[in-house]
Amino acid sequence: MSSEPTGAEAQRRPEGSCALVTGASRGIGAAIAIALAADGWPVAVNYNSSAEGAAATVAAIEAAGGRALAIQGDVADPAVPAQLIEAVHNQLGPLAVLVNNAGVRADGLALSLSDEDWQRVLDANLGSTYRLTRGALREMIRARFGRVVNIASVIGPRANAGQANYAASKAAVIAFTKTAAVEVARRGVTVNAVAPGLIATDMTQEIPSTLSERVPAQRPGRPEEVAAAVAFLASERASYITATTLYVDGGLSA
């Protein structure tokens, strides 16, 4: 008779496991790391250039009684994702939750986008999501528990002039999420996406304030509102939710 865990048993959080949030030195990523820590996860706070921001995220988590560790790495570099996962495992514990949040923008009309700006956005937003997920799934499948949450965008499925590269990367993240989820669903691993709309962060400061008038809620969202959705999808309570995209956009995608 097989001794593999099944059903509710397979969906228990593995003892000593942890979470990794990429791009967690500020904004949505920092809010997600803090929310996961509040849920009891030790959190690896990944950052690329802002060591000060990552330290602030770690300090906020520790001040609330949680455990966190800042780990530097540019996830757009194809060599970094595997190194990052190994570092998390060695320094914090088995990886049970992966949040692919790191991303960049390089806006411009499609007819004038450079090859460099096109590739840079796809490498950061899509390539890192694929490589990190690929590396994390192996450990999650062995544990028969895993949560992958990919941060997409409302811009993925709808047009927004001047963001062809960003929209393409985020639409692809949603498609990748669905396919990966189907492949691992029977192993106790879920893969979902969260698609924020207009969220008040450093990344959206240069977006015209008139855009909020197009949001049915008539306001920008807060990073904490995105983080709450991610924390739920990372929890045991969301064990039957997979291959879905949760929009946190004040109705913008309606």
What CATH number is attached to the domain comprising 210?
A: 3.40.50.720
Supply the range of the domain harboring residue 216: 14-248
Q: How far apart are CA 68 and CA 149, in angstroms?
A: 19
Query: Is 147 part of a structural domain of the chain?
Result: yes
Q: Phi/psi at 141 (nearest 5 deg)?
A: -65, -40
Single out the residue of 187, 96, 202, 195 nearest to residue 139, CA to CA: 96
The answer for residues whose C-beta is within 8 angstroms of residue 175's C-beta and 6 or more apart is: none
- Positions annotated as catalytic residues are 166
Which pLDDT score, from 0 to 100, does residue 227 have? 98
* Contact criterion met (CB below 8 Å) for 132 and 55: no
Query: Is 129 part of a structural domain of the chain?
Result: yes
Query: Is 3 part of a structural domain of the chain?
Result: no
Query: Is 253 part of a structural domain of the chain?
Result: no
Query: Is 8 part of a structural domain of the chain?
Result: no
Which pLDDT score, from 0 to 100, does residue 106 have? 84
Which pLDDT score, from 0 to 100, does residue 7 have? 46
Q: Specify the range with the lowest mean pLDDT, choosing from 104-118, 120-134, 185-199.
A: 104-118
Q: How far apart are CA 142 and CA 23, in angstroms?
A: 26
**Stronger pLDDT, 109 or 204, i.e. the higher one:** 109
- Say how many domains are in the chain: 1
pTM of the model: 0.92
Query: Is 62 part of a structural domain of the chain?
Result: yes
Q: Mind listing the pLDDT tens digit for each residue in 131-152?
A: 999 999 999 999 999 999 999 9
Q: Lay out the sheet containing 146-151: strands in order across.
A: 68-72, 43-47, 18-21, 95-100, 146-151, 189-196, 245-248
Query: Is 32 part of a structural domain of the chain?
Result: yes
Query: Is 20 part of a structural domain of the chain?
Result: yes
* Contact criterion met (CB below 8 Å) for 166 and 125: yes
Q: Specify the range with the lowest mean pLDDT, choosing from 24-28, 82-86, 204-208, 219-223.
A: 204-208
Query: Per-residue DSSP letters for 95-127?
Result: EEEEEE-------B-TTT--HHHHHHHHIIIII
Which pLDDT score, from 0 to 100, does residue 191 have? 98
Does pLDDT of 159 surpass 80? no
**Stronger pLDDT, 146 or 254, i.e. the higher one:** 146
